[in-house]
Amino acid sequence: MNIWIISPGKNASIWEDCKNNNYIAIGWDSINMNNIQTKFELDEKLKHYQDEKGKDANVSLRYFSKEIKIDDIVIARQGLSTIVGIGKVTSEYISPEDLNNPRKDLDFKQVRQVKWFSFKKYTLKSGQFTRAYTIVQTDENDLKFKTHLKRVILNENIKQQINLLKDQNQIILQGPPGTGKTRLAKQMVNFIINGNIEPNIDNMKDQVKLIQFHPSYSYEDFVRGIVAKPNKNGNGIMYESENKVLAKMAKDAKNELGDEYYNIETSDKRKKEILKESKKYILIIDEINRANLSSVLGELIYALEYRDESVESMYELEENGTKSREITLPSNLYIIGTMNTADRSIGHIDYAIRRRFAFETILPNENEIDLQEGKDLFKKVEKLFSDNNLSPEFEKDRVMLGHSYFIAKDSEELEKKLKYQILPLLKEYVSDGVLTDNATAKIDML
């Protein structure tokens, strides 16, 4: 993903049309870049148009038609210091001669369709952009601007992931180590409950739980099991069933929805209103595939798909003088799992369970790294996974080191990360057969 700063007309003169009709557009309307393949051809074409000469025209037209890709980020600027919109490119280049061009009867006919997700005006604290061409690939050093941009993009991504979670009720964030999966899970939780993206869940313990699976985790640890307790008469011990983390959260969430929600006479419309207004309960399961999920979930594999329907547990529970085996997973209970795709020692998620979860892949992202030395090191390590050093049974996107390994406040901190985290992990990859022996010399040169 690249980030492009684009001026929609002089002083953003066509911005309102771009915003309202979901596109970005630039000028030089007489040139169809689909008919031009080289810089020389474009230079020759521009010679015929006195007002369209110059480096800006050549660079901007080539960037706009050839370099910008779908899913790249576009920043619409006004003047030299103000951002008026941020969005994501959703189409290939649309030429002035295209019959479907939304500006075919207007000026500024070079078009890319965009999904805009922020219209908040932002003024650069550093004064102005470092370059003022119609299009530039961003290299801004304004740290506050970078923070603002990251926050807007993260906000949009989290909204999409939350929509996916709400559709399915459970999601697994999967990716290689160091891509911030657990942090993202916490941000999603905070966004759902408080509307912000701080990765802090400490003040939500009544609605949120975070646990970590491991190979010995069982149904009795997660759902319901038999526990030993002192006998009430003081003689010996007694054994009784007890709800564990999932069943406890499910009970709290069901109580939150209330009897009206579960009354068969309540209309679907009213149920949707109750669900929308209810408190949400969220369980984060870190390293979800380290346990045997089929064994840990038991009959609740069914309940994951059929929310608000009761299933019978293997253990009978007595509460308030009433015995019952029933457990219900209500619709206001969400599950977010994280999964490391690089670890071959962990359990397999079978198809029945996989079908009940939405999967979102979280990949290494160079744009998360601010320090230039960190970016440079990231590129060197990334090249290790691209130069025939990766064993054929592995995919780069499943094992490449995540960006968090390269995030540092200064060179000294980055050097420590290289020495004590990055190099040991890369060497372990060689030992485990993820990287071939050919990579060893290159690792030593980092």
pLDDT at 52: 44
Please report the pLDDT score of residue 49 as a whole number.
58
Burial class (CB in 10 A: 0-12, 13-18, 19+), 328: buried
The reported pLDDT for the residue numbered 347 is: 53
pLDDT at 188: 94
pLDDT for 45: 77
Report DSSP letters for 63-102, one per residue. IIIII--TT-EEEEEETTTEEEEEEEE-S--B-TT-TT-T
Local mean pLDDT, 10-residue blocks, the chain (446 residues) = 89 95 93 87 72 67 92 91 93 95 94 94 77 72 76 88 93 94 94 89 92 93 89 78 94 96 95 95 94 91 94 89 91 95 71 90 89 93 88 90 95 95 94 90 90
348 residue type, one letter: H
Q: CA-CA distance, 419 to 416, in Å (whole number)?
A: 5
pLDDT of residue 237: 82
Residue 162, both tokens: 């939350």
Model pLDDT, residue 393: 86
| Alpha-helix residue ranges (DSSP H) falling in 278-331 | 293-297, 300-305
Burial class (CB in 10 A: 0-12, 13-18, 19+), 359: middle
- Tokens 């037209």 -> residue: 61
Residue with tokens 């959703």, as numbered in its chain? 90
Tell me, what's the pLDDT at 139?
59
Cβ(226)–Cβ(305) below 8 Å: no
pLDDT at 53: 46
With 0.95 as the threshold, say if the pTM is over it: no
Q: Return the structure tokens found at 109.
A: 């006919």
